[in-house]
Structures are given as C-alpha cells and as structure tokens.
Structure 1
Amino acid sequence: MTRNEKKILKTAINTVTHHNKNIWWELKREIFDHGFQPHYYWQSEFENIAHRVINKLSDADKQLLFAEWKNAKPPRTVKSDEEILNAYTQLIIEEVVSRASVAANRTENW
C-alpha cells in the first residue's frame, strides 16, 4: 500500500482495527502464539467490517483510490471498480494484521 493510499484509508483502517476489542486481542494472541502464518483464523472476523467500511467511503475517496490503483508503479492489473474496492478491502486486512503483529510483540500482560 502506498503512502497516499494509507492516507486515504487511514480512518477506514482505524475503524476496522478498533471495531471490536475482543477480536483484536484474539488476533494478537493468535499471532503471538503461532508466529507468522499465511492466514490467521481471527483475521477473517475483520473482513465484513472492512468490506462495509470500504463501501461507505465517499465517492471522492473512492475516485482517489481508483486513480492510485491505476497509476501505481509498477502497474497493477487493471480491474473493474468493484474488484479494486475488494482488493483494497484485502489491503486493509493486511494492515490490520500488521498492526496486530506489532502490538502482539509489545504486549507484556496477557
């Protein structure tokens, strides 16, 4: 995710990350206990909220994201607007997992 994409999606990422404290703790614990995994069980709990948050973005933000996607270097596969939004949903999930990983390593009292 580029710096501009993160800037556009900052509020969306924060909303997804903090929508449920219990699920957040479960994801952190899973990462702490099992280390790197290609997919964590608890990350799927964030997918519905990420999809809803992406779809609720303003039209202006969506247009900015479409432009970022289409102008990315190296070029990304050209997709329909709906496919681009779905791709951004997955990028939000990746960012949530990344943040949870950092938080898991900082957590002292489980």
Structure 2
Amino acid sequence: MINGTHVIIYSRDADADRAFLKDVLGFAHVDAGRGWLIFRLPPAEAAVYPAEGFAHEVFLMCDDVRATMAELAAKGAEFTEPVTDAGWGLKTSLRLPGGGELGLYEPRHPVAHD
C-alpha cells in the first residue's frame, strides 16, 4: 500500500533552494545522482481546500506500483494513465473524486525515508 509521499517544489533557482533545505533547514537527504538531492521531510499532513482550478502535484510512493494499483482499484480508484517507466520510477496517476489527480509511483532512485 502507500508508504510515502514525494513532494515536488518548483524553483527558479533549484541549487539555491536545495542548499537552503540542506544547510538552513537541516533536512537529511540522499543523492539520487548528479547532485539531485531528495530530502527527508518531517511527518506531513494533507488538507483539501476548495478551488476553481487545480494547482498541485503530489506523488504517493509505493513498493510495487502494479500491486498497489490493484489494491486501490478494488476499492474504486480510477487510474488516468497506464504505468509508464519514467526512468526514476514506474508511474501512473489516479483521479481524485473532486477531479484532480495524484501521481503514484514505484521509485527506482534512492528514497529519503525509511
């Protein structure tokens, strides 16, 4: 089942933001290759706010994307794309009841969580 969340932060200066997360906030990290840091985050919460549009990109992480899809589909989840190999992981998307989407992926890079 779901075992983590991968949050993407878009930036005009990714190197500076990575340095801030590492050096200022002190987040532990792993190097996924070529200096691409993946940060360990503290426990998280999620909230749903009403909106006219959709402005989020959240990926749920799992150990086996196809098995997790089968579990979730059995509970009524709808997937909006087939599993594709993005290089960094096997990914798909699932539709939320309100019309948005969440990514679901099986990472192939080092993960920053237990």
TM-score by length of 1: 0.29
Q: Quick check: which one's strand share is greater?
A: 2
Considering fraction of residues, name the structure with more helix. 1
Comparing both chains, which one has the higher relative contact order based on Cα–Cα distances under 8 Å and sequence gaps of 6 or more? Answer: 1
**TM-score calculated relative to the size of structure 2:** 0.29
